[in-house]
Amino acid sequence: MMNFGALGSMAKNFSKMKELMGNEDFREFLEHPEVKILMEDKEFQQALKDKNYLKLMSNQKIVRLMQNPEIKEALSKLDLKKFT
Q: Tens digits of per-residue pLDDT, 25-73?
A: 888 888 999 999 999 999 999 998 998 999 998 999 999 999 999 999 9
Instruction: Give the model's pLDDT for residue 75.
Output: 85
pTM of the model: 0.68
Amino acid present at 46: Q
**Residue 1 domain flag:** no
- Is residue 31 within a helix (H) or strand (E), and if so which, with residue range? helix 24-31
- Answer whether residue 9 is part of any domain: no
User: In this structure, is residue 13 part of a structural domain?
Assistant: no
Residue 3 lies in a domain: no
Q: Cα–Cα distances in Å, from 15 out to 9, 21, 67, 80?
A: 10, 10, 30, 14
> What is the C-alpha to C-alpha distance for residues 44 and 24, in angstroms, rounded to an integer?
24
Considering the domain boundaries, does residue 77 fall inside one?
A: yes
Does residue 65 lie within any of the structural domains?
A: yes
Q: Is residue 7 predicted with pLDDT exceeding 50?
A: no
State the total domains in the chain.
1
The parent domain of residue 35 ranges over: 24-83
Q: Does residue 53 lie in a domain region?
A: yes
- Domain assignment present for residue 45? The answer is yes
2-24 burial code (b ≥16 CB/10 A, e <16): eeeeeeeeeeeeeeeeeebeebe
Higher pLDDT, 29 or 12: 29
pLDDT category of residue 3 using cuts at 50, 70 and 90: very low
Q: How far apart are CA 21 and CA 30, in angstroms?
A: 10
